[in-house]
């Protein structure tokens, strides 16, 4: 039997990397002809003595081969990376140029593969590698680790760049974007959409390159975003393959939290009534200023709802790309005697395995930053959401959840972590009460979440929408 080799080029962000590894294993599970090579690039934000940037790379366990059918190639640093000065203008532009600086190394790695390559699967920040595929005569596919809503917004940005050539302005009126059923407020577009220093143009260029691909693999399912997917299929865009939800349900590729803390949390959750606890967690980069922490604490206490809050320390200002860390003593940032006042009803902790917590029967709500992996995990476990986005495309995700799909209660969907705006205790209390209470609004969100959760699980089984779409992708690759 002839081997069909796939080459995957993920970017080095944790969420992108974990989703890619799970997609690789699904390809191998679905067809015995497939083998995979994963090309792993160095994380760009390693410490240097002069720039003060320090951000530890994602866990290497995420790219450890679990089978001889997967080969992992760790590429060296690129010979000509972009200047760090670009970071002061645009993270997206710097990161895109950094990925592009790997083109020669990626090309040479593919040439060294002893068997024919049937497909090059690229992360959204690696769209420039389509040029490598074209040069080598290999079809390129984009693996879009976020949802169809964000994909639609990127194509809208590309259209504006092509027709007007000027970034968005926050003073503009709500925008009619053809991929959404409702008008889109300017405030929920990603920050790069307003960045004239390269963010807007670099992301528009990615979307333009997507149109040169053989197809776009999206981590969503047809029943979740039908309006957007239908609009995308009518717009001259390459075929969309919905293969989601692609999830790391076993947390095997996630950073390891404190095991003693994890055991204590499990015991505490075991002693709570079913669906009674609201879980607050904001992803690997989620953190707040001390003033915002105080507002969250007051809002939680006033709500009277049982809660589990994963609270993390922001990095120092001179190391803004460093990941948050756990507090040595949570009392340093929480209100005085807060633990005593909420004893028995609330618990504050550090880093936890989010998907493990969401799977627990005691969890009845999730205050989330709306990262797409978190959204899909919440849907899978039928946990309704309070949407509180922080950065990147999370505002678009929050808009989709609250306005388009009505699967979440709004905290503040146009919130950006660096905007200086303080979400008040009253807003936090109101959103949590709305989600967890037995009034019509809370019941409707919970009902809709249960329905879409069932559909998410049906999508990936034999005969489901994502199962069929994945098979169409496989047939195209093997043809």
| Residues tagged active-site | 16, 123
Name 185's Cβ contacts closer than 8 Å, sequence gap at least 6. 174, 175, 399, 414
Q: 3-class secondary structure for the chain? A: CCCEEEEEECCCCHHHHHHHHHHHHHHHHHCCCEEEEEEECCCCCCCCCCCCCCCCCCCHHHHCCCCCCEEEEECCCCCCCCCHHHHHCCHHHHHHHHHHCCHHHHHHHHHCCCCCEEEEEEEHHHHHHHHHHHHHCCCEEEEECCCHHHHHHHHHHHHHHHHCCCCCCCCCCCECCCCCCCCECHHHCCHHHHCCCCHHHHHHHHHHHHCCCCEEEECCCCCCCHHHHHHHHCCCCCCEEECCCCCCCCCCCCCCCCHHHHHHHHHHHHCCCCCCEEEEECCCCCCCCHHHHHHHHHHHHHHCCEEEEECCECCCHHHCCCCCECCCCHHHCCCCCHHHHCCCCEEEECCCCHHHHHCCCCEEEEEECCCHHHHHHHHHCCCCEEECCCCCCHHHHHHHHHHHCCCEEECCCCCCCCCCCCCCHHHHHHHHHHHHCCCHHHHHHHHHHHHHHHHHHHHCCCCCHHHHHHHHHHHHHHC
**What are the distances in angstroms from CA 273 to CA 163, 278, 345, 445, 453?**
56, 12, 11, 20, 21
Q: Are 100 and 131 in contact (CB under 8 A)?
A: no
User: Maximum CA pair distance of the chain?
Assistant: 68
């Amino acid at each position: 039997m002839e081997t069909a080799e796939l080459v995957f080029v993920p970017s080095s962000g944790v969420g992108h990397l974990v989703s890619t590894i799970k997609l690789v294993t699904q390809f191998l599970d679905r067809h015995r002809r497939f083998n995979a090579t994963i090309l792993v690039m160095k994380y760009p934000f390693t410490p240097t003595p002069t720039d003060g940037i320090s951000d530890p790379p994602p866990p290497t366990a995420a790219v450890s081969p679990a089978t001889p059918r997967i080969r992992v190639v760790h590429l060296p640093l690129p010979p000509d990376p972009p200047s760090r000065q670009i970071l002061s203008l645009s993270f997206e532009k710097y990161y895109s140029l950094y990925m592009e600086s790997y083109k020669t190394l990626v090309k040479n790695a593919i040439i060294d593969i002893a068997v024919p390559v049937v497909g090059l699967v690229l992360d959204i920040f690696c769209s420039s590698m389509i040029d490598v595929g074209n040069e080598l005569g290999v079809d390129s596919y984009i693996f879009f680790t976020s949802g169809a809503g964000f994909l639609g917004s990127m194509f809208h940005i590309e259209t504006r760049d092509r027709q007007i050539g000027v970034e968005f302005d926050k003073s503009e009126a709500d925008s009619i974007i053809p991929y959404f059923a409702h008008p889109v407020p300017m405030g929920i577009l990603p920050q790069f959409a307003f960045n004239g220093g390269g963010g807007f143009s670099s992301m528009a260029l990615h979307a333009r390159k997507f149109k040169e691909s053989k197809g776009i693999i999206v981590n969503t399912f047809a029943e979740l975003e039908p309006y957007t997917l239908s609009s995308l299929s009518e717009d001259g865009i390459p075929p969309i393959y919905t293969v989601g939800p692609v999830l790391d349900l076993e947390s095997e590729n996630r950073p390891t939290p404190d095991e003693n803390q994890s055991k204590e949390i499990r015991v505490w959750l075991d002693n709570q009534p079913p669906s009674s606890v609201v879980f607050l967690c904001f992803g690997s980069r989620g953190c707040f200023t001390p003033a915002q922490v105080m507002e969250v604490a007051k809002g939680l206490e006033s709500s009277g709802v049982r809660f589990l809050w994963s609270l993390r320390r922001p990095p120092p200002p001179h190391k803004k790309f460093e990941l948050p860390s756990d507090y040595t003593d949570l009392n340093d940032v929480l209100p005085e005697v807060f633990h005593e006042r909420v004893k028995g009803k609330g618990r504050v902790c550090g880093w936890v395995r989010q998907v493990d917590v969401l799977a627990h029967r005691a969890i009845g709500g999730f205050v989330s930053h709306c990262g797409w992996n978190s959204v899909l995990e919440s849907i899978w476990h039928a946990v309704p959401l309070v949407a509180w986005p922080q950065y990147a495309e999370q505002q678009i995700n929050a808009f989709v959840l609250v306005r388009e799909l009505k699967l979440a209660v709004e905290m503040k969907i146009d919130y950006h972590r660096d905007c200086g705006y303080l979400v008040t205790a009253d807003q936090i209390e109101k959103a949590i009460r709305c989600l967890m209470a037995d009034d019509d609004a809370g019941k409707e969100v919970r009902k809709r979440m249960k329905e879409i959760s069932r559909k998410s699980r049906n999508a990936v089984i034999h005969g489901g929408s994502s199962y069929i779409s994945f098979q169409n992708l496989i047939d195209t690759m093997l043809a």
